[in-house]
């Protein structure tokens, strides 16, 4: 993409309503625009990152054997009355009435809807296990929406639902989701710590929240410092292997890590004092096992091996897709702007032309742009007729992890400048070596000439 043809409405001043870093930078970098309280339009740069995050989630869900569907944003209130949650959910639910005076609601979550799908088609244990998921817009009418996409009313969310014959099978699904979430967050450059949490309106005895440590987090968290040394890394897991998934759960949840809602001073006292940590955390996902709570209420039963009709065991598993943008920025920024991890960056690198209109500089930038594009990479070429300082400020603000700077002085020596946004370190390289370096960073193979 050429910046002269892109829609990137960058703001020089910080909007008064932005209280935290991610909200400030998302507004200033032209990623979002508020439509009303807690509701945002997603502009091209923000929408591009949203799609990158969504793609990673889809890939990891497929790896775990989960099947994507798409459910509507508007549901009938009848299903929620059937489950008993319609009146219990509270004022966060946006209740509406259609022209025929039928009670409807804007989806805050979809346990009832997906259970209705399941009970309509699945009759036998032979069709289990089954996990269905979607990535869809949700609405919760927060009494005080704030912090931009971190606590909005409309939000984009991955919600998955497992259906299993027994509790043991459903707990394996729980573990499978924990493993897939660890992989998902690490691919986004995040360390999301699974912490014992409260079931809230979803319910269930087994639940973990995934929290990213950040000073602006809404939750107070208590954890054993050893947990921050854990990395999932590149290990290969067989998601059908009960023991392997259970081992990962034990590895990542055996040390103390809890939100303030479930904090237990007696258990906390057993953690060595030099490893006790308190901090703030941003919730970016949660997994639940709630057994037969919904299947019994909605009569979602299957025939088991003996011919008996039994309610299925269920769980639900969410990732806050739009909230993740804010969390990533809160965890990865400096005083100049965003620093995107390579896994979710909207563009793989920026190209800055220091002297637009100079034949040699223009030609070198075009060649770099063509070479990177031919490798399947997406560069953002700042071809505007602007001052160099303004171009650098824009690149720093929008946070692309790598920048190639091209100017007449360097070209006289046959080099361009490759700069890391994270470290600020620069290196002079011939243009073809700069392209090779970017390709290697992103794991792209180059054709041998």
Q: Where are the alpha helices (DSSP H) in 122-226?
A: 167-187
By percentage, how much of the chain surpasses pLDDT 90? Answer: 90
* CA 22 – CA 218 distance, rounded (Å): 14
Quick check: 194 pLDDT over 60? yes
Quick check: 148 pLDDT over 50? yes
* CA 260 – CA 36 distance, rounded (Å): 31
Mean pLDDT in residue range 194-218:
80
pLDDT band at 206 (very low <50, low <70, confident <90, very high): confident
Residue 176's pLDDT is: 97
Quick check: 338 pLDDT over 70? yes
Model confidence pLDDT, tens digit, residues 355-414: 999 999 999 999 999 999 999 999 999 999 999 999 999 999 999 999 999 999 999 999
- 212 and 247 Cβ atoms separated by less than 8 Å: no
Residue 204's pLDDT is: 53
- 231 and 186 Cβ atoms separated by less than 8 Å: yes
**Residue among 350, 394, 341, 397 nearest 369 (CA):** 350
Quick check: 202 pLDDT over 60? no
Helix (H) or strand (E) holding 193: strand 192-196
- 273 and 284 Cβ atoms separated by less than 8 Å: no
Residue 198's pLDDT is: 72
**Cα–Cα separations (whole angstroms), residue 354 to 378, 388, 405, 423:** 20, 6, 7, 21
Model confidence pLDDT, tens digit, residues 127-147: 999 999 999 999 999 888 888
**Residue among 411, 145, 138, 133 nearest 287 (CA):** 133
Tokens of 396: 């720093």
Model confidence pLDDT, tens digit, residues 422-432: 999 999 999 99
Tokens of 166: 């027994």
Quick check: 203 pLDDT over 60? no
Quick check: 218 pLDDT over 90? no
Lowest-confidence region among 22-26, 201-205, 352-356: 201-205
Mean pLDDT in residue range 101-119:
95
Residue 376's pLDDT is: 96
pLDDT band at 18 (very low <50, low <70, confident <90, very high): confident
pTM assigned to the model: 0.94
* CA 313 – CA 85 distance, rounded (Å): 18
Quick check: 262 pLDDT over 80? yes
Residue 145's pLDDT is: 87
Residue 449's pLDDT is: 44
Model confidence pLDDT, tens digit, residues 79-97: 999 999 999 888 999 999 9
* CA 67 – CA 161 distance, rounded (Å): 10
């Amino acid at each position: 993409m050429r910046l002269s043809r892109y829609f990137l409405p960058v703001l020089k001043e910080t909007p008064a309503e932005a209280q935290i870093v991610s909200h400030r930078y998302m507004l200033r970098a032209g990623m979002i625009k508020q439509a009303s309280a807690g509701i945002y339009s997603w502009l091209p740069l923000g929408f591009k990152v949203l799609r990158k995050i969504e793609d990673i989630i889809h890939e990891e869900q497929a790896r775990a054997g989960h099947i994507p569907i798409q459910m509507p944003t508007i549901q009938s209130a009848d299903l929620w009355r059937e489950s008993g949650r319609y009146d219990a959910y509270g004022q966060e639910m946006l209740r509406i009435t259609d022209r025929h005076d039928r009670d409807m609601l804007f989806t805050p979550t979809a346990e009832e809807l997906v259970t209705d799908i399941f009970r309509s088609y699945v009759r036998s244990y032979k069709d289990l296990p089954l996990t269905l998921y979607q990535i869809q817009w949700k609405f919760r009418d927060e009494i005080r929406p704030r912090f931009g996409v971190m606590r909005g009313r409309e939000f984009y969310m991955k919600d998955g639902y497992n259906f299993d014959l027994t509790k043991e099978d459903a707990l394996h699904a729980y573990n499978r989701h924990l493993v897939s979430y660890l992989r998902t967050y690490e691919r986004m450059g995040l360390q999301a710590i699974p912490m014992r949490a409260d079931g809230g309106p979803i319910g269930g005895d087994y639940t973990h929240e995934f929290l990213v440590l950040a000073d602006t987090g809404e939750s107070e968290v208590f954890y054993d410092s050893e947990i921050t040394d854990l990395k999932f890394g590149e290990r290969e897991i067989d998601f059908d292997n009960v023991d392997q998934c259970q081992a990962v759960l034990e590895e990542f949840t055996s040390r103390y890590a809890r939100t303030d809602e479930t904090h237990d001073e007696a258990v906390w006292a057993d953690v060595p004092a030099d490893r006790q940590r308190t901090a703030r955390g941003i919730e970016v996902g949660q997994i639940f096992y709630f057994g037969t709570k919904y299947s019994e209420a909605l009569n979602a039963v299957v025939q088991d091996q003996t011919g008996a009709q039994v309610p299925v065991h269920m769980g639900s598993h969410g990732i806050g897709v739009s909230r993740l943008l804010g969390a990533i920025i809160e965890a990865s920024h400096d005083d100049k702007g965003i620093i995107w991890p390579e896994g979710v960056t909207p563009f793989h690198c920026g190209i800055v032309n220091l002297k637009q209109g100079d034949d040699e500089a223009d030609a070198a930038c075009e060649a770099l742009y063509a070479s990177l594009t031919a490798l399947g990479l997406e560069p953002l070429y700042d071809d505007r007729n602007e001052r160099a300082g303004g171009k650098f400020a824009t690149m720093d603000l929008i946070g692309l992890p790598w920048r190639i700077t091209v100017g007449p002085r360097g070209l006289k020596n046959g080099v361009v400048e490759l700069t890391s946004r994270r470290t600020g370190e620069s290196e002079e390289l011939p243009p073809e070596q700069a392209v090779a370096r970017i390709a290697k960073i992103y794991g792209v193979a180059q054709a041998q000439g």
